[in-house]
Amino acid sequence: MIIGIHHATFLTRDLLKARKFYEGVLGLQIDTSRPQMSFDGVWYEISAEQQLHLMLLPNPEEGLKRPDHGGRDRHVALTVTDTTKLIECLKAAEVPYTQSKSGRRALFCRDPDGNALEFIEGNL
């Protein structure tokens, strides 16, 4: 049955802006094995068996009002080694974020397209 999550996918309307966030702020690196598809996009390697995909496609929910706190919206949760370092990166890039309301060492932010991301400090 289910043994893990292979990838999560987000839609973007501006691939360059999204790449500046995912690569410049979060430090992800492109996986060059993405095949040619009928739409533009990028894949990011999180680990040997986990990826994050961006697809340059129209968002069918454009204009939908999202909660201010990403923890109250659908989101993907990513494990990070140091939330303090991540906060420094988010602040430097002027990306708003909120701390987890549960008291865990976790925080939430949104990418340039409004997709919610959770970052949890921990080890894999």
Domain boundaries defined on the chain: 7-58+65-121
**In this structure, which topology does domain 7-58+65-121 adopt according to CATH?**
2,3-Dihydroxybiphenyl 1,2-Dioxygenase; domain 1 (3.10.180)
Residues 98, 69, 25: CA angle, nearest 5 degrees:
50
> Which residue is it, tokens 């697809």?
55
Q: Residue 79's closest CA among 3, 4, 1?
A: 4
pLDDT tens, residue order, the chain (124 aa): 988 899 999 999 999 999 999 999 999 999 998 888 999 999 999 988 899 999 999 888 888 899 988 989 999 999 999 999 999 999 999 999 999 888 889 999 999 999 999 999 987 6
Which residue in this structure is represented by tokens 């939908």?
64
* pLDDT at position 96: 96
Note the pTM of the prediction, 2 decimals.
0.91
Ramachandran assignment for 38, one of left (phi > 0), alpha (psi -120 to 50 degrees), beta (any other)? alpha
